[in-house]
Structure 1
Amino acid sequence: MLVEPGFFRTELLTPQSTQYAEPSIADYAERTTRTVQAWQGMNGTQGGDPAKLAAAMVELAGLEQPPARFAAGADAVAVFRQKASDLVAQAEAHLELSTSLAHDDA
């Protein structure tokens, strides 16, 4: 089971736990800076409860058929949904061309 967690209220975002490298690629510097600032700003206010995540992991591990992939937290579910929506839109953007690529005798 692949667990993809959102943000949980742990020590991950504390200065003692996480150090950020200085942006080294100019094209990404602004976005990296914004991301680091956002993460630092949410330290101590993350929505996820780590004890509830642990209980959920135990529950899922006990299933006969645990999920192949688990979105842990409402923020992770939102990311999954957005990604799924983006992929469907990309698949449909050029659907006719995409589906016209088989051999003529196939």
Structure 2
Amino acid sequence: MEEVAPVATSDAALLAPEEVKKKRRGELMSKEERTATDKNRERRKKKKHQRQKGKVEKVTEHRNTEKGAVSDDKSLKTSKAFFQQLTDDSRSMIKKRNVKNKGQ
């Protein structure tokens, strides 16, 4: 015969609490009860987590960045000059494409 168990329950509900979550090693202590060794252990653990978090942040910060070309052109200091240069560049690019298309 089969065991009758509710169908909508998870496997965790059928397990003992010790099987679901591991027991904590050692006894719980207040801050005043901790020895210097305990304090140093917790400090090392905290610093380890901070270093790992810092490495992850550093990698994600620089993930999608690209170095641009350094420009020696000092004439584009005003917005008028910048947009004039942009317009000229786009016009020359359009002319080049039109020449290529007519040649084919």
TM-score in terms of structure 1 length: 0.28
Question: Quick check: which one's helix share is greater?
Answer: 2
Q: Based on CA coordinates, which of the two structures has the bigger radius of gyration?
A: 2
Higher relative contact order structure (alpha carbons within 8 Å, sequence separation ≥ 6):
1
Question: Quick check: which one's strand share is greater?
Answer: 1
